[in-house]
Amino acid sequence: MSKSGSILAKLIAGIALAMAAFHLWVVYSGAPEVFYFRGTHLLFGLVLIFLWFPLKLEGGLRPLGLLIDLLMLAGSIAAIAYLFIEHDYVLTRFAYVDDLHPMDAILGITLMVVVLESARRTIGLALPLTSLAFLAYGIFVADLRAGELIDQMYLTTEGIFGIPLNVSATYIVLFIVFGALVEKSGTGKLFMDFAMALAGATAGGPAKVACLTSAMFGTISGSSTANVMTTGTFTIPLMRRIGYRPAFAGAVEAVASTGGQIMPPIMGAAA
């Protein structure tokens, strides 16, 4: 059975819908306390990653892959649920001063492993290896104690629950939802068809189409992220089909979407 028609696909769709509903509710009612808000966002993301990108081992090792996936899911839920349950303790403790409880250390290490593995499954080894290098630098060069590192990464808003996660939870996920709605409503295809009519038959047509489509989308959205997520779903495959390298196609779309931010009347998300 194909993934699109399986029970797993329906489960993934249900979780993704719940994630979108949660963030739209936050927009309406205001964000909850930081660990609740960012933790819920992270938990949704981790669960979706481990369901959509299972560990694919061949032959007799397939049960081992399933076991690892289940452990990753359980670790994600346990580490974040602990922060919810012990919320008052996390907020009132003195970071780097109070000793870590054994459970703090165990779940802190668990969450770091889970986050690194989720990054490996989605974007490859580059980012996890870079992160491990910086963690090793902190311990072996900067003389940080392992407890201090776990404290910062797990129990403060300066590590895993820091600014990048907040940006993802506050802005990026909403732009992704917006981009999906634009795509499904046909607005993105309208921009695409108009750009194809203008530049599709010229030399370098698909790249020019990407620039024109991103510029037109910029008139209704001041976000380069939303622009990429919406127009890129059409233009990047189009460029790849005629022979553009994937990296070049992605670069064209990224630059075009960034330039689209300055199109009037929006002229940038911060305007």
Mean pLDDT computed over 211-232? 79
In this predicted structure, the answer to whether residue 200 has a pLDDT above a threshold of 70 is no
Least confident span in 75-84, 109-118, 160-169, 236-245: 236-245
* pLDDT range class, residue 117, cuts 50, 70, 90: very high
Mean pLDDT computed over 202-208? 73
Q: What is the mean pLDDT of the chain?
A: 86
Record the pTM: 0.78
d(CA 119, CA 50): 10
In this predicted structure, the answer to whether residue 1 has a pLDDT above a threshold of 50 is no
- For residues 151 and 189, which has the higher predicted lDDT (pLDDT)? 151
* pLDDT range class, residue 270, cuts 50, 70, 90: very low
Least confident span in 110-114, 258-262, 263-267: 263-267
28 is written with which tokens? Answer: 């309406």
130 is written with which tokens? Answer: 């870079």
Mean pLDDT computed over 79-103? 91
- For residues 178 and 130, which has the higher predicted lDDT (pLDDT)? 130
Instruction: Give residue-wise pLDDT tens across range 234-253.
Output: 788 888 887 889 899 899 99
Mean pLDDT computed over 141-145? 86
Q: How far is CA 81 from CA 16, 86, 157, 242, in A?
A: 19, 8, 16, 48
Amino acid at 166: N
Q: Residue 19's pLDDT is what? A: 96
3-state secondary structure the chain: CCHHHCHHHHHHHHHHHHHHHHHHHHHHHCCCCHHHHHHHHHHHHHHHHHHHCCCCCCHHHHHHHHHHHHHHHHHHHHHHHHHHHCHHHHHHCCCCCCCCCHHHHHHHHHHHHHHHHHHHHHHCCHHHHHHHHHHHHHHHCCCCCHHHHHHHHHHCCCCCCCHHHHHHHHHHHHHHHHHHHHHHHCHHHHHHHHHHHHHCCCCCHHHHHHHHHHHHHCCCCCCHHHHHHHHHHHHHHHHHHCCCCHHHHHHHHHHHHHHHCCCCCCCCCCC
Instruction: Give residue-wise pLDDT tens across range 8-61.
Output: 889 999 999 999 999 999 999 988 899 999 999 999 999 999 999 998 888 778
- For residues 52 and 227, which has the higher predicted lDDT (pLDDT)? 52
Q: Residue 115's pLDDT is what? A: 97
Measured at the CA of 189, the angle between CA 52 and CA 244, to 5 degrees, comes to 70
Mean pLDDT computed over 149-176? 89
Q: Residue 271's pLDDT is what? A: 47
Q: Residue 153's pLDDT is what? A: 94
In this predicted structure, the answer to whether residue 4 has a pLDDT above a threshold of 60 is no
* pLDDT range class, residue 199, cuts 50, 70, 90: low
- For residues 27 and 209, which has the higher predicted lDDT (pLDDT)? 27
